[in-house]
Amino acid sequence: MIGIFDSGIGGLTVVRELMRQKPDASFIYLGDTARTPYGNKSPETVLRYAIEDVEFLLAHGATSIVIACNTASAIAEEQLMRAYPHIPVFGVIRPAIEEALSLKPYSIGVIGTRATVSSGIYQKMLQEAGTSIAVRAQACPLFTSLVEEGLLEDQVTKLMIKKYLSEFRAHRVDAMILGCTHYPLLRPQIARYVGKKTELVDPAAAVIRKVLSDTRVPPAAGEQQFFLTDVAPHTVAIASKWLGKGIHVEKAQVGTA
Ligand code: DGL
């Protein structure tokens, strides 16, 4: 069973892709809604939360882990791989970079949480990939809360998009990585603002292709379970709407959440 986690409902953008590529996939999803957002927390706290999330998923039968959260991937992916050497662990950052580079862009933008952007992980990995493409990164810390609140089409969201992304409208980039799994829920709004010439990159499809083609991940079919550390009705409603079907959500006890 594939274990997937995020700080909240953002990771469902990855789950949706899994359900699209393999409708009968067996997975367990954990959204740490009681402690979201992760992107404003210190690296120590994000690492602790990520370990607790993984422990929960493994205790509930996961045999592989997808870190469906850029923040946790940026801060904790390497440590998780070291801590669980026998479990395949997939982060979202490398697939995002591969997907962006496949577009052969001259310039790349990255938008993400404060923790992801200050980690400099995208610049570091792009350098490691041997490219000297100009990268412009922008933290958009309030986007996560706007998505968790379901304010996708709200006036306040439009204002925040303008506040965070005006530089990308004035000086466009060829490819913009949606470097937080919550952001694809705002994709149409972001696309409308930055314009058609900027290609938006959502790593969900690429990460799921990697997971499903990995021979260490058994092609189990069946059970699909959703856990949240705080089960608020509006969160469940947004999650169901995004996945296009009603879901049954159970309450998870994770760490101190
Ligand atoms: N969706 C997560 C990410 O990809 C976390 C956002 C947050 O909790 O701040 O970074």
Residue 220, pLDDT score: 79
User: How high does pLDDT run on average in the chain?
Assistant: 95
The pLDDT tens digits for 31-54 are: 999 999 999 999 999 999 999 999
Residue 76, pLDDT score: 97
Active-site residue flag, 69? yes
Q: Whose CA is closest to atom 9 on ligand 1?
A: 39
The pLDDT tens digits for 208-237 are: 999 999 999 888 788 899 999 999 998 999
Q: Whose CA is closest to atom 2 on ligand 1?
A: 69
The pLDDT tens digits for 50-87 are: 999 999 999 999 999 999 999 999 999 999 999 999 99
Residue 138, pLDDT score: 97
Q: Whose CA is closest to atom 8 on ligand 1?
A: 37
Residue 257, pLDDT score: 58
Using alpha carbons, select from 202, 208, 210, 209 the residue that is nearest to residue 181: 202
Cα dihedral 74→138→187→68 (10° resolution): 10
Exposed e or buried b per residue across 5-35, where buried means at least 16 C-beta atoms within 10 angstroms of its C-beta: bbbbbbbbbbbbbbbeebeebbbbbbbbbbb
Q: How many Å lie between the centroid of ligand 1 and the Cα of residue 4? A: 13
Whether the CB-CB separation of 167 and 134 falls below 8 Å is answered with no
Q: What is the mean pLDDT of residues 190-199?
A: 96
Please name the amino acid found at residue 81.
M
Mutate to test the pocket of ligand 1, among 47, 49, 71 (most ligand atoms within 8 A of CB): 71
DSSP-H helix ranges across 6-42: 12-21
C-alpha–C-alpha distance, residues 132 and 81, integer Å: 28
Using alpha carbons, select from 121, 161, 156, 152 the residue that is nearest to residue 137: 121
Mutate to test the pocket of ligand 1, among 144, 177, 185 (most ligand atoms within 8 A of CB): 144
**Which candidate in 69, 89, 228, 239 is catalytic?**
69
Bridge partners of 226, per DSSP, are: 29, 249
Residue 164 has pLDDT above 70, yes or no: yes
Beta-sheet strand order (sheet of 134-139): 134-139, 107-112, 175-179, 199-201
